[in-house]
Structure 1
Amino acid sequence: MTPRSLEDRRLIHRQDSARVQADAFRDLRTRLLTLGGKQNFVTLVVPVGHGSGGSFVARNLALAFAFDEIKTALLVDCDALHPSQHTAMGVDPVNGGLMDYLRDSSSGLQQIQYPTGIPRVHLIPNGGRHEISGEYFTSPRARTMIDSLRGSNPDRYLILDGPSVLNSPDARILSELADLVVLVAGYGKVTMKNIDEAAANFEPEKLAGVVFNDLP
């Protein structure tokens, strides 16, 4: 994608016109790498409440990991109620997505990993809107999938884009599949009480911190 098309999709890039935003996500990536240690890891990004910008943070964090030419990033859209990453990344999920794979044991994992047009960044889309998804995320198939995706490439970093903490139990369930959790708080959209309530859903050792999105 060209820098202009990336900006139209609210995606960071290396050019000066997006330097402030790119540097912010680079800093977030560096902090996570410090917490995650030497091995690759799985990061769950979840908004405190719907509309806080969790998906925006998740996809740009994936791009920040891929800025490093020895790393790759795999973005996984785990928000079954509000799947958005395929649209934002310009991907047509012709082979289905995450929920299709978790429901159907005959589906192949490789076929739901889509190139995004951005070097070293791939996407697993959600596969469509689903009202019930929690039981799929607690299945052995989900754990095996995550282990396979991480283990097959030691330079691959997984970013899980999850649903809002205060509107769905899936965020807490998904944290069992992740090493680190990043909370996203939309500026002026949630209170400190909301943030505290959301943070209480996760194990303290997994909670990396809070990103305040859309600051004035």
Structure 2
Amino acid sequence: MTSPDTLSKSEDRVAEQYPADRSIVQVQESTALTPAQMREYALLVPDDEAAQPMVDAFRDIRTRLLSVAGDQNIVTLVVPVSPGSGASFVARNLAASVAFDESKSAVLVDCDLRKPSQHTTMHVEAKNGGLLSYLENPATLVSDILYETGVPRLRLIPAGGRPTRHAEYFSSFRMRLLIDSLRSRYPDRYLFLDGPAVRGAPDARILSEIADVVVLVAGYGRDSAEDIARAAANFDPNKFAGVVFNEDV
């Protein structure tokens, strides 16, 4: 078991890595994705006329979330009703839509430990591991698992593998330490958690306890009204932002 002293030292190392008076908005990507690469990585291109209706839809959701946030940066959990509903696509593009605003930045965290996909889709080589590495190893720093995505002001924390043992990762002190560290260092940084499906495991509900807002993703024509209602009932009504219907499933 990790001692409180070890956790305190870990938090101190995080503070040293991220000075409180520095904005992540000022951090530049070493290489930026081309529009063709963004499409390949299932990211919307802001000025793509052909995709404008979908771009506008994500901008509208972003505006609603920022309205809920007020003057605070928030943690948004995006989860599908059932596997294959397209929540990872929605989480990725919601995070990107925030990062497209030059006054804000975003971190996308792949919390689907059983079926991680963000690092593959975004072609990110997780050389230092990811979320699982941080949760299992007190020596791992936040800076070790934050990866550039090629989208300015958007960072990715990949899942970093699949669990080899049963553990309550998302209710652990390390998970809360990670979220607090990420959101407190930069007031212009917004967190998006790409969570597992509501149906089949309690992880989505557990993650909602450390999130400020929950967005539920339903596959259009795939998830029934009854399935959606049962999934929504898992979350605090005060945190539940609504349902996004995804046709691209």
| TM tier relative to shorter chain | over 0.9
User: Which stretch of structure 1 is more off in the superposition, 6-15 or 107-116?
Assistant: 6-15
The aligned counterpart of 1:47 is 80
- C-alpha offsets along residues 99-134 of structure 1, whole Å, 9 cap, x if unaligned? 110011111111100000110100000001236666
The aligned counterpart of 1:99 is 132
What's the CA shift for 1:19?
A: 1.8
Question: 1:184 aligned to 2:225?
Answer: no
Q: Secondary structure at the match of 2:199?
A: helix
User: Are residues 210 and 133 of structure 1, via their aligned partners in 2, closer, same or farther at CA, if it must alter by over 3 Å?
Assistant: farther
The CA distance in 2 between the partners of 1:161 and 1:215, in whole Å, is 17
Q: Secondary structure at the match of 1:166?
A: coil
The CA distance in 1 between the partners of 2:241 and 2:51, in whole Å, is 25
Q: Secondary structure at the match of 1:123?
A: strand
The one-letter code of the counterpart of 1:170 is D
User: Which stretch of structure 1 is more off in the superposition, 136-145 or 174-183?
Assistant: 136-145
The aligned counterpart of 1:5 is 37
The CA distance in 2 between the partners of 1:144 and 1:92, in whole Å, is 24
The CA distance in 2 between the partners of 1:6 and 1:116, in whole Å, is 10
What's the CA shift for 1:87?
A: 0.9
> Which residue, 108, 111, 115 being the options, matches 1:75?
108
Question: 1:111 aligned to 2:144?
Answer: yes
The one-letter code of the counterpart of 1:13 is V
The CA distance in 2 between the partners of 1:166 and 1:183, in whole Å, is 12
Aligned residue runs from structure 1 range 125-164, under 5 A: 125-130=158-163, 135-164=168-197
**Structure 1 unaligned spans of 5+:** none
The CA distance in 2 between the partners of 1:167 and 1:187, in whole Å, is 20
What's the CA shift for 1:37?
A: 1.6
What's the CA shift for 1:17?
A: 3.2
**Structure 2 unaligned spans of 5+:** 1-32
User: Are residues 134 and 47 of structure 1, via their aligned partners in 2, closer, same or farther at CA, if it must alter by over 3 Å?
Assistant: farther
Percent identity reads 57
RMSD: 1.4
Could you tell me the TM-score, scaled by structure 2's length? 0.84
Q: Secondary structure at the match of 1:167?
A: coil
